[in-house]
Amino acid sequence: MPRSASPALIFALFAALAAGVLAAFSPGLLNDSDTYWHIRAGEWMLGHGQVLRADPFSYTAAGAPWHTQEWLAEIAMALAWRGGWPGIHLLFGFAAALTAFVTAYAARRRVDLVPALVTTVLGLACVTGSLLARPHMLALPLLALWTAGLVTARDEERTPPFWLILLMPLWANLHGSFAFGLALAGALAVEAVVESSTRVKAGLLWGIFLLLAGASALLTPFGIQGLLFPFKLSGMSSLGHIGEWQPTDFSALSPFAIALLASLFVFGSGKVRVSPIRLALVLGLVAIALLHSRHQMLLGVAAPMLLAPALAKSWPARDQKDQPLFAALAAILLGIAMVTRLMLPVTRSDDAITPATALAHVPRMLRELPVLNDYAFGGYLIWNGVRPFIDSRADLYGDIFLGNYADVTAPDKDALAATLTFHHVRWTIFRREAPVVKLLDATPGWHRFYADKLAVVHVLD
């Protein structure tokens, strides 16, 4: 570690400034329909004073058990919503800033400026695809703190500080990625045992840490079910129909692709050598990022810190003069940016997940009748008090229901007819380009009620 931590602090503050401003002012932060129902779920819990355990929103799964793993994040989002959309931007801006600060500081305190900058930028760029107002973003600062603590412990050949365990109950109530945190600790525990000169002692101490961390993850309203839920969700066969659960797409150049190419160049040159176990761990992260694009964010946050010790052997951090004015400047600019974000209005209109104009043309009485809706519109329907046929809560609806919906929207004529009849559907709302729209146009008894550049509404005669 450098004798002066000031350069690392300045570096981390400017990283926090960049990430915080990007998240706080990015219109794309609101480009996910989950944001709508997460806020409504949080409001329901605040209003009822209890954690949601059954679906209060849809009509196809009304009253069915619902595992609200992210209940604490949803309450935080509902509280932020009291400041309107600027409040949501502010909450996630701070989360992005804290994630970048911890990641950048952990890398820079070991590695010289340029390689630390390249590593941090490439890593955090992998998060941009998941830069959305959803609970996973609120959990990323905990992932960064957790990884930094574990890597520092391994760097100094000691047991992780037990205060890290206090992060786990908070993490487990925010987002299912806590399971990744436990797996990461397990992998580094194996590395500690294999590489330690006192293997028995290392195994015992890391084992106690893992046992306590796993036990603390049970401190949720769902107990053991909360611990098992991430594994049950990832095992659903229908997740392949959902974009973020699909394999990484390389048809266009992305930050993840650039990061992979840069890593291949650096490590292929032979200048940086990574221990076999650490290399296997990082390659495992790459593998899950390739398998499911949503996991690029885990790789982007964890990899810069996991690789920092190896990079430091070739490009160690050098002592520099303290420059407190730069640190103060970065902190002040971040504060100004966040205050500005809260003061500036955010207006929302028709977009890929918000069929505002189309829904406004649907009579109130019709809205109360069963609807067959586009998957992407489910959150907005919930937001407006309309009970959807489906939304993005895959775990609630299950494999069979999601598989049937995939057939309906393929579209399959028989599946559509059976679904319309079985659920007594009286109106539909889909994206204009959805294949099922043309089939509805040709379905006897149905007619276009409204259409615009975004959405089409059909009504039963």
In a domain, 349, yes or no: no
Of 112, 108, 110, 89, nearest to 100 by C-alpha is: 108
Claim to verify: residue 133 and residue 202 sit in the same structural domain? yes
Is residue 5 pLDDT above 60, yes or no? no
How many domains does the chain fold into?
2
In a domain, 347, yes or no: no
Claim to verify: residue 136 and residue 243 sit in the same structural domain? yes
**Domain end call among 337, 369, 398:** 337
What digits encode the pLDDT tens for the residues 242-263? 888 888 888 888 989 999 999 8
Q: What is the pLDDT of residue 319?
A: 66
Dist CA 130 CA 59 (whole Å) = 29
Dist CA 43 CA 25 (whole Å) = 24
Q: What is the mean pLDDT of residues 428-456?
A: 97
**Domain end call among 337, 371, 396:** 337
Dist CA 169 CA 150 (whole Å) = 17
Q: Write phi, then psi, for 25 (nearest 5 degrees).
A: -115, 5
In a domain, 444, yes or no: yes
In a domain, 348, yes or no: no
Is residue 322 pLDDT above 70, yes or no? no
Claim to verify: residue 165 and residue 225 sit in the same structural domain? yes
Dist CA 363 CA 360 (whole Å) = 8
Q: Is the peptide bond before 161 cis (omega within 30 degrees of 0)?
A: no
Claim to verify: residue 360 and residue 333 sit in the same structural domain? no
In a domain, 344, yes or no: no
Is residue 240 pLDDT above 80, yes or no? no
Is residue 95 pLDDT above 50, yes or no? yes
Claim to verify: residue 305 and residue 430 sit in the same structural domain? no
Claim to verify: residue 391 and residue 295 sit in the same structural domain? no
In a domain, 342, yes or no: no
Of 414, 459, 420, 413, nearest to 436 by C-alpha is: 413
Q: What is the pLDDT of residue 267?
A: 83
Dist CA 65 CA 388 (whole Å) = 17
Q: For the chain, give the percent of residues with pLDDT over 90.
A: 82
Claim to verify: residue 201 and residue 292 sit in the same structural domain? yes
Q: What is the pLDDT of residue 242?
A: 80
Claim to verify: residue 24 and residue 144 sit in the same structural domain? yes
Categorize the per-residue pLDDT at 197 as very low, low, confident or very high, splitting at 50, 70 and 90.
Answer: confident
Q: Which domain holds residue 451?
A: 356-460
In a domain, 1, yes or no: no
Is residue 1 pLDDT above 60, yes or no? no
Which of 72-86, 241-255, 322-336 holds the top average pLDDT? 72-86
In a domain, 130, yes or no: yes
Dist CA 194 CA 191 (whole Å) = 5
Claim to verify: residue 277 and residue 381 sit in the same structural domain? no
How much is the CA Rg of the chain, to the nearest whole Å? Answer: 24
What digits encode the pLDDT tens for the residues 278-318? 999 999 999 999 999 999 999 999 999 999 999 999 999 88
Dist CA 331 CA 381 (whole Å) = 40
What digits encode the pLDDT tens for the residues 34-50? 999 999 999 999 999 99
Q: Strands of 427-431's sheet, edge to edge?
A: 371-373, 427-431, 455-460, 446-451
Claim to verify: residue 246 and residue 319 sit in the same structural domain? yes
Is residue 211 pLDDT above 60, yes or no? yes
Q: What is the pLDDT of residue 135?
A: 97
Dist CA 313 CA 152 (whole Å) = 15
Q: For the chain, give the percent of residues with pLDDT over 70.
A: 98
Dist CA 372 CA 232 (whole Å) = 27
Torsion of Cα atoms, 357 then 87 then 14 then 316, to 10°: -90
Range with lowest mean pLDDT among 62-71, 183-192, 226-235: 226-235
Claim to verify: residue 272 and residue 380 sit in the same structural domain? no
Q: What is the pLDDT of residue 3?
A: 42
Claim to verify: residue 142 and residue 276 sit in the same structural domain? yes
**Domain end call among 308, 337, 366:** 337
